[in-house]
Structure 1
């Protein structure tokens, strides 16, 4: 890369490399069937089990679309549906053990990736980049629609 490479392009390339390494790490741990939206859904359901309707609202997609995502993730063993303890007619979706394990593996990768950057570039540099990226990102909810748009 040259200094004339646009800043936005560098951000995109860095993000793509990060995702590529994340996918490789998850594949090596047996999570080779991850879908594009899985990470977002796993993080959302880790915060709280939801009905498909509530998940659809969070994802800002149709209930049918959310149902298809959950059907697929359930088929692959990442989520389970169970009766709601509050509404006998409703079913909630929660992470299965495989879903919890996949999320834990992804979080461990995130932690190790940042540690690796600190070893190679110094903690001060990484903290400065983190601060800069935080300022650029603004006050967005990490589970909000801005992040969701990257995955769906």
Structure 2
């Protein structure tokens, strides 16, 4: 099997398990970018333009994702005290709960993987994946949906 195909299938399997975990907790992840938005907004409230910049997408692209997340109760728009025309995007209680469930899943997934293949193997996979990502960033690859 080609290396890229194997990476893609591993990612799809991971995402499938993540979505099942979230569904068990009453959360439906509709968009691939939701996790990146949740993580980015957990750090601080941002405008749609700022969010887009952090994620490497346009403000219009960020606004489209946020509109969907607002409709599903994950994100709230609040007035910006520094600029009455602007709206700050904040995680709702549902958004924070979802992010907690995502983080719980990530930690548990890695614990289960360590139990199956060993800590050294998992550390090696982390190192290799980190090298792939680092090489792409160093070479100027487009930063799509990756918080800085």
TM-score bracket for this pair, using the shorter chain length: 0.7 to 0.9
Query: Deviation digits for residues 58-104 of structure 1, max 9, x if unmatched?
Result: 33434333222212111110011111122222210010010011111
Shift of 1:147: 4.9
Shift of 1:47: 1.7
Cα separation, partners in 2 of 1:115 and 1:147, compared to 1, 3 Å: farther
Indicate the residue corresponding to 2:122 in structure 1: 126
Answering whether residue 70 of structure 2 is matched by residue 74 of structure 1, we say: yes
Cα separation, partners in 2 of 1:33 and 1:128, compared to 1, 3 Å: closer
TM-score using structure 1 length? 0.84
Cα separation, partners in 2 of 1:47 and 1:7, compared to 1, 3 Å: same
Answering whether residue 14 of structure 2 is matched by residue 14 of structure 1, we say: no
Distance 1:78 1:110 in 2: 19
Cα separation, partners in 2 of 1:64 and 1:137, compared to 1, 3 Å: closer
Gaps of 5+ in 1: none
TM-score using structure 2 length? 0.86
Shift of 1:145: 5.5
Distance 1:131 1:35 in 2: 28
Shift of 1:25: 0.7
Distance 1:12 1:77 in 2: 30
Distance 2:132 2:54 in 1: 23
Gaps of 5+ in 2: none
Distance 1:145 1:47 in 2: 23
Cα RMSD of the aligned pairs, angstroms, is 2.2
